[in-house]
Structures are given as structure tokens and as C-alpha cells.
Structure 1
Amino acid sequence: MQNTELSGFGVILLFIIGGVSFVLITLVVARLIRPSRPNKEKLTTYESGEDPLGSAWGQFNPRFYVVALVFILFDVEIVFLFPWATVMGQPELIEQTDGTWGWFSLVEMVIFVLILALGLAYVWAKGFLDWVKPTTEISNYKSKIPVKLYEQINQKYSSEGKS
């Protein structure tokens, strides 16, 4: 008699094959049923809502680094707080030392969070989190669709919304 069970690696392989095939089938079906109407505006590069200027090796706004560092700061804080919360959430561990361990760990975590909050307050007070809003530029793109058609569509939908 043969053992026909899959090993743990076989199950993982089946999940990987299933996941990859699901993604590929979804992409193929989307490619078959979507309309293809490219124009100049649709084929332009989109970079976070800003028009790309120059080479890709150009200047990068350093404020993105500040946002990333603040995210990492609070991400690390959560990484340290989660194990503490799961272990200290068990009353039998705290009762083993007559509650002194629970109070010690609580004070330790409060000091940790206060140091991080103090750092955030310092950065905020110095204005390092202020974001300069870019000026908006009007596109010079000339659409082949007449303006009257847009006006008709807007009137149609605005009259439907009122009724």
C-alpha cells in the first residue's frame, strides 16, 4: 500500500502554482476584454500626480525621505509594542512576581513611547514635517473630442442628478 499524502512542501507548491495561475489567468482575461484606445494623454508617464521632468536620475524631493523615516519610526515602535502587549496581556505572567514585573514593563513602555512622542514633537515643532504644495500647471494638451460634447455630457448628468 502506497502513501498518497502530500508532504508540507507539496502543499506549499500547490498554493504557489494556484496563486501564480490565478494571477496569470486574471491578467489574460483582462487583456482580452478591456478596450484598447490609446492616445497621447494616456501614454504619458504618471509619477505620483506630477509631470515627469528631465531624466529619471534627477533631483528627488527630500521630504519623501522624511515621511519614510517617520513611517519607519512608528513602524519600529509597533514592532516593539506588539510582543510586549501580547506577553503582558497574560495575567498569570504578571501574578508570578506579585505584579512588580507588570508595573516595571508598563513604566518601561511608557518611557519608550514618550521618547518617540518627544522626537515627533521636536520634528513637528522644527517644521520638518511641513509639506510645500506644488503649483498647479494647466496642460496644453489639445483633445480631439469637441468641447460641445463635454458640455452635453455634463448637462445630461447634472440634469439627471437634480431629478
Structure 2
Amino acid sequence: MVTIRAYEDRDWAAIARIHDAARLDELRASVGGEAFRTLDDTYEGEGLFDGAVWVGESDEGAVVGFAALADDELTWLYVDPGWYRRGVGRQLLRHALAATGASCVECTVLDGNTGALALYGSEGFVLRETRSGRLAGNEEFRATGHIMEWRRPPGR
């Protein structure tokens, strides 16, 4: 079981490690690992702290994932590769959706990231459009992204 809580400054090293490992996996399946940049290099330009940030913490107190939501956009969702397929991403996603007051939330998933596409689809996100352009965080590379959209069910 994972507990979701607000990000604290002491979590930086853990989320940087998680991002760097999981981002490599994400890029290898899409534009290629050579496009990788560390969280230290990209967090400011990509607005990690523009909204709320949460971490998933194991029973042992280890940070095993994180998510960020800015207004009506899920901007970050990364899970420690050692914790893939254990429900951490789903818990973080559900927490973010429950915390937002927005009736519609969007996120962008890189083409080739089949795990993320499956997760978002299983939680009610639908494909709104697909775009190609410069890769966020490393504009030297081109990427294709799927813009996914979630709408709050009526009465919730």
C-alpha cells in the first residue's frame, strides 16, 4: 500500500531519482534515450512546481512516485521502475483527479508509452488529439504526443 501526501523539500532527491530512471524508460519507448535530461535540468522550464505536487510513499517511508497538477493539467506522473505495475501510478492519478476542482483535466502522453496510455484510458481519459513538435524538456528532439482528456462524471 502507498500513502499519498503533499511534496516536501526533503523529497527532492527521491523524486529526482524516480524521474531520471522512469523518464529514460519513457524516452526509450518513444523518441530515444539520447533525448534524456535530468530533473535538475528540466524542472524549472517545465513548471514542476506550478501547481500541487504529491508523492507516493511506501509503508517503509520510501518515496516511490510523484504527480503534479497545475490548474486543469496533469503535468507530471512518474513511478519508480521498481514499483511499476503495483498501482502507484493509479493511486497518484486518482488522488490528483479527486483533488482538482476542474471539470476537465488533460495530460500529454508520448507516443510509444503504452503503459501510460493504458493507465489513463482505464481511468476514463480519452484521446482528444495527437500532435508532433518539439519535446518538452529537450527541444532539440521531435516527439509525438497524445493529448488525453478526463471529464468529471456528472454529480461528482
TM over 0.5: no
Instruction: From the two aligned structures, give the one with the greater strand fraction.
Output: 2
Rg (Cα) greater in structure = 1
TM (norm. structure 1) is 0.16
Instruction: From the two aligned structures, give the one with the greater helix fraction.
Output: 1
